[in-house]
Amino acid sequence: MTTGFQHLHSFLAYLALLGIIFSFVYALIGALSGRSFEEKDRKFGLFGLIPAHLQLVIGLVLYFLSPLGFANLSGETMSDSMSRLYALEHPIINIIAVAVITVGYSRAKKLTDSRNRFRSIYMFYGVGLVLILSRIPWAAWLN
């Protein structure tokens, strides 16, 4: 069961990253072009938001199922960089990243000025993307 969740989590990571990058670039182009923020622009913001939330839910399930997650938390975990990444850094930073992305999307819905709405999406999604990229276990991805 853990293996299935690991594969799902790895596959969804690509979709989440593509969705966040797409939403970021789309909002950046919208802000730079000066066009008005419409309903379709809000929906394009969902391309990054929904996969990020799905990835978070699958990741949290995996965190409690996997021996690398919650079960690995101990004093010795902090001395091993790979164990610390899986048990502490990766989950916490990614929870923060998804929260930042969610705040950016929610804020864009409430603003009235089109440029500020686009800016909210690209700035918050950009920060979330940088956070996510900083804590991806690249060693596992590149194998």
pLDDT bin (cut points 50, 70, 90) of residue 48 is very high
Is the pLDDT assigned to residue 121 strictly greater than 80? yes
Q: How far apart are the first and last CA of the chain?
A: 21
At residue 3, the pLDDT reads 84
Work out the average pLDDT over 104-111: 95
DSSP annotation of 36 reads P
Cβ 66 vs Cβ 6: under 8 Å: yes
The segment with the largest mean pLDDT, out of 40-44, 75-79, 85-89, 139-143, is: 40-44
**Domain, as residue range, for 113:** 2-141
Query: What is the chain's mean pLDDT, rounded?
Result: 90
**Would you state the pLDDT for residue 142?**
64
Q: Given pLDDT bands bounded at 50, 70 and 90, which one contains residue 141?
A: low
The helices-and-strands tally (H runs, E runs) of the chain is 6, 0
* Packing angle, helices 114-134 and 90-110, rounded to 10: 180
For 68-105, write each residue's pLDDT tens digit: 777 777 777 788 788 888 888 899 999 999 999 999 99
Count: domains in the chain = 1
- Is the model's pLDDT at 110 over the cut of 90? yes
| Beta-carbon contacts of residue 42 (< 8 Å; ≥ 6 apart) | 108, 109
